[in-house]
Homo-oligomer: A and B are copies of this chain.
Amino acid sequence: MTETEKEKLTIVVFSGELDRALAAFMLATTGASMGMDVSMYFTFWGLNILKKNEGSIKSRGLMRRMFNRVNRGGSKRLKISRFNMFGLGTWMMKRLMKEINHPSLEELITMAQEMGVKLIPCTTSCGLMGIQEDGFRSGIESLAGAAFFLNEARQSKVTLFI
């Protein structure tokens, strides 16, 4: 089967919480392991998942700097969307994952990249939030716009908005 004949799975990752990020990457790696051609398109808070875990984003303008200080991101710093309880819930979720030997989000992202899952940041969101490409982890694709995403989506067997 040639590359172009592979079934496509496209996931828009809008959310930046740990639980939704886990769901997105579990589905992406599962899809890739089933032989699907997987693209993930990161927009708004979803960009936080791709941000580097070290330091914080350098961006121009006081307001963008403030915004990225509050909204720091990095796969290891995300919180769960419910019952975070000042970090206790997130800490428990991570412990529970370790206990059943479930890969962490960071490990899932690395797995996804090794399996050829494409990680694509949204141009408009990056412009809006003042994030430059050097703010992201290595190995991701170039920025792309909404038209690129819709073009992938209309060729996909499955498209999800998470």
Q: Is the CB of B150 within 8 A of A36?
A: yes
Report chain B residues within 8 Å CB of A14. Answer: 20, 23, 162
Q: Which of B12, B71, B128 contacts A100 (CB 8 A)?
A: B128
Q: Which of B12, B34, B92, B158 contacts A159 (CB 8 A)?
A: B158
Bound Cα distance from A35 to B157, whole angstroms? 20
Report chain B residues within 8 Å CB of A149. Answer: 27
Q: Which of B61, B92, B156 contacts A63 (CB 8 A)?
A: B92
- Flag whether A43 is at the interface (Cβ < 8 A): yes
- Flag whether A138 is at the interface (Cβ < 8 A): no
Report chain B residues within 8 Å CB of A158. Answer: 150, 153-154, 156, 159
